[in-house]
Structure 1
């Protein structure tokens, strides 16, 4: 499937208004907002899987048992030594809920950071216990054989083009150190040592949190790619999550919620597409103005080129000559840019779910070049594999009128269901939130998100089956949980929760396409919206809103640097590309175009499976990726085909000997599965989630 046909009509050049004078008070207010104490955020966004060895809560991590302190000082030392260690560029501390990078206006950041060290290892976050009990019995160290999560930060120049500038960005980093830690008294051990190579990970977005990704996937990543030999490090790119400054352009997430339903309606349900685009455009103008008022010139310094330079700073701080890593989704855009800017520092880099960064230089290109696969994933994958799995594993495959369900019939049923929702939403009631309704716009967005992760398909199938049968409860439960940031049932935090850094993603997308030559008048955008939703009813609307706001970026900012060169440089080591046949966001076409341009500097795995990136597990893909990371071994052919081990709806049938039956899943099981899906989706495409 090719690109959508972009309108060719031109309009008179639009004179951009000059940026308004920035109010000093607004700047101060913005910095305060972006730097609000974030201890409340830590447990939600940064440490979703903390393992406190004694089961203590965050609030209990205050007292220090004497046996863990070797001597009493203002900066206590644990039985594992002093943290941060001298000359550590990342200032690593064992992770606890308090280890959040200091604010930029902290006059003694290193001292403040060191003061967060908790010497009690029961409060630290350790890896899984060793598989061999003998490992723990051979030493007095109760944590022997366990990896450790280390939290730190790295200060980098805010503006790389200003050599004399003193402004900085403070990047949050989380590393899983596979060797764990060594007791201070134990000098004859390999524990506590950095691995010879570090796997750097970045989940995408733009706006995805690498520290959250490390918490969620670091142990599995090092096991999958290096047999637990190499450390794994994730970082929050500039402007994201707990890096400083974080870029959010609403004072509170609830303020963003307030406008969400009005400005994100789907084209299929609005009476006048032009009126809807006008409303969205006005709100986008207001958001960009707010970003300027709150963050000033920061929009100049968030382009992918600057993020690539940050990656090189991380490489240098690790003391490694080259970058090795596993970069996913937008992370592959960072990796492509890095490889082009620093070709002599490219190590073993996997680009999984491959973007093609040339597309992002086009106006709206981040949106309209990514529409190839979503409807195919829906038809061949969600519906087709449902029919293949049968009624035991997929609710939509239950016989109708005593007849087996056929794919064409199921597709017609779903088309009728969505058309009915476009004409009239379905009312529902939830004890937790009272009256509500299931709308076409919300359900299509939820469906698009589900195409990222086939593990969510049994729950989506049950939801659509219930809706078709007149029961909207499950749909309301799932969609209500993904529409809003504000939860009225949540206890009031002791400190204000800062807003999510959601607008950062838009600023990156717009910075990377700021000099596009396509028309920029509203008629052009209106025509683009029609083309995108016609080509892809599932993804077109969401992707359009991702890029519409760029109309107003140039009013306030011109990026300090963007990369506009070629992608065919001779690299120190070739890279390994992985592109998926049914990826709803980064089509296989991207990987093949990138391979064609990079030539002998790349190899491509065509991963035949469902979902975004190679999450649809394949022993073939994993073995090739592992050989590459461990030994630098590349596939012989330019393109190698690998196939997923199992099919959707029946995951586990081969690996575990059984697959979960749809009939056995209760409502709470579906809600739990959907929430897990949303947590993953927040890493790869935060813009698909107005809230969690």
Structure 2
């Protein structure tokens, strides 16, 4: 879920980095019987500075798939043709997660993100999902975004009521700035868009690689169009069947478990800046100071929520753990930076309309919210509740539109081909238990476990990468119950070789000096 890469803990700020609108001529979605590619592929927007060889196109789809001849929007696409066309297998559609990640940007970076085994044999096609980046991005007023953000951790009945009012007011600005699409960005609609792309490029079947929230797109596509899949890898899985309590529980435990992996690594790794100290106790002290309003960094009081966000962002990839240790020291000694931001301007905010359309997060009262909060804090005595799961929940209170794609267990068709699922054992964004739950819903799936920490197994483990490459190219699956060993960083100066993850936040949110 890249709320990062999203699923970053601070998606509203990160999504503002998405690229500009892509010009071009809109093309109508073609029927499934279309035998040739009808998308007018051509040069990408000059301001994007797309890599050489990448072509871009557009496809028009209905805003509401129940009204196929009603108002429409234009999806932006990018394609990186197979570099070994004589051995080309076909199209590989990709999505980097979010909601809010840009599939166009993912395709731009395909040469770095994927191994030659993939880029040689597939036309890699990325698209910006409806409401995101270049595909009629949903903008909301930044003042309303900030007003909501200030209330996402309500501490009283009055604040809980104000939160619901702020959520409703925010959505009103989204509707005013972006039109009716805000009601129609659920993942089932995105899956239907993806099948329109398949039809438009003239393919009877597609291959798909989705990571994080991109797994939700793949899952819904598999449920709706099981006979149109050649191969599908879902990496770092969400689980659409989660109820409120399980959603919070597994996210909270995932953050605590990932953090304890960090502290154990630091205690055994001499190059860690906190090596030789009781790292758990060191963090607990920082958290206590933050809760008491006594953690002051460069004159700015840092609260416990911000401290949680910092830890959360570093759990995406252990390669950044050296910097996390330095940042915790920096916090403890009173150094840090802060950045001002503009207010009152439209800002991209496509994450919440998707989540609030896909999950039923509405609670009946502040009392119910507080009870849930206490449950989460008991589960995770060090890191407390998961900030991303909690803000998913609170930001959807009093959402003015219905849940158009209600959570449910997948209805797996016998037509589904073998599918490969993979998850890290310690994943702060998409917990391992979500992956195992999904595997039980998909009888045709093989589940691969990466025994380490992080989000996006393809870029964390050479073993997982090789298994995914082999499956996508040859449709040869690893043995049932396969595991890939954990990999931990040994030096802060290690240079990664091979594919580079598009998911890692890559944030030094606070300078280590």
TM bin (shorter chain): 0.7 to 0.9
Kindly provide the CA deviation profile for residues 33-58 of structure 1, in whole angstroms up to 9, marking residues without a partner as x.
xxxxxxxx9995338xxxxxxxxxxx
Find the counterpart in structure 2 of residue 130 from structure 1: none
Counterparts of 1:457-606 in structure 2, within 5 Å, are 457-468=321-332, 470=333, 472-473=334-335, 476-477=336-337, 480=338, 485-486=341-342, 499-502=346-349, 504-514=350-360, 520-536=364-380, 537-553=383-399, 555-557=400-402, 559=404, 564=408, 566-599=410-443, 601-606=444-449
Q: Unpaired segments of 5 or more residues in structure 2?
A: 1-13, 21-35
Following superposition, the deviation at residue 458 of structure 1 comes to 1.2
2-structure distance, mates of 1:306, 1:611: 29
Say whether 1:262 aligns with 2:150: yes
How far the C-alpha of 1:556 sits from its partner, in A, is 3.8
Q: Tell me: CA distance 1:348–1:225, structure 2 relative to 1, closer, same or farther (3 Å).
A: farther
SS at 1:240 equivalent:
coil
2:58 — aligned with what? 153
Q: CA RMSD in A?
A: 3.4
- Whether 1:387 and 2:267 are equivalent positions in the alignment is yes
CA contact (8 A) 1:339 1:571 kept: no
> Counterpart of 1:159 in 2: which secondary structure?
coil
Matched, 1:320 2:203: yes
Which residue in the other structure is 2:40 paired with? 91
What TM-score comes out, normalization by structure 2 length?
0.82
1:596-617 residue CA offsets vs partner (Å, 9 max, x unmatched): 2222x11011011111121553
2:233 to 327, 337, 350: 350
Among residues 620, 626, 630, which one is paired with 2:469 in the alignment?
Answer: 626
**Secondary structure of 2:40's aligned partner:** coil
- Equivalent residue in structure 2 for 1:198, among 69, 79, 91: 91
Report Cα offsets for 1:76-105 as digits up to 9, x if no partner. Answer: xxxxxxxxxxx8633322234347xxxxxx
User: Which residue matches 2:170?
Assistant: 287
CA contact (8 A) 1:579 1:613 kept: yes
**How far does residue 631 in structure 1 lie from its aligned partner after superposition?**
0.7
Contact 2:421 2:446 survives alignment (8 Å): yes
Shift of 1:650: 3.2
Deviations 1:147-201 (A, max 9, x none): x122222111211112442x1121111222243xxxxxxxxxx87x994312211
Q: For the pair shown, which has the larger CA radius of gyration, 1 or 2?
A: 1
Using the alignment, how far apart are the partners of 2:57 and 2:426 within structure 1? 37
Equivalence for 1:612: 455
Q: CA 1:546–1:655 in 2, change beyond 3 Å: closer, same or farther? A: closer
- CA contact under 8 A between 1:422 and 1:440: conserved in structure 2? yes
Aligned residue in 2 for 1:209: 102
* Partners of 2:160 and 2:99 in 1: CA distance: 23
* Pairs aligned (count): 477
Match of 2:224 in 1: 341
Asked whether the equivalents of residues 211 and 236 of structure 1 are also in contact (C-alpha less than 8 Å), the reply is yes
Relative distance call for 1:364 and 1:173 in structure 2 (3 A) is: farther
* Separation of aligned partners in 1, 2:492 and 2:475: 31
| Distance in 1 between residues matched to 2:341 and 2:503, nearest whole Å | 13
Distance 1:499 1:367 in 2: 30
Which residue matches 2:27? none
| Aligned pair partner of 1:235 in 114, 117, 127 | 127
**Deviation, structure 1 residue 332:** 0.6
Residue 295 of structure 1, CA deviation: 4.3
Per the TM alignment, residue 222 of structure 1 is displaced from its structure 2 partner at its CA by: 3.7
- With over 3 angstroms needed to count, the CA separation of the structure-2 counterparts of 1:44 and 1:356, relative to structure 1, is closer
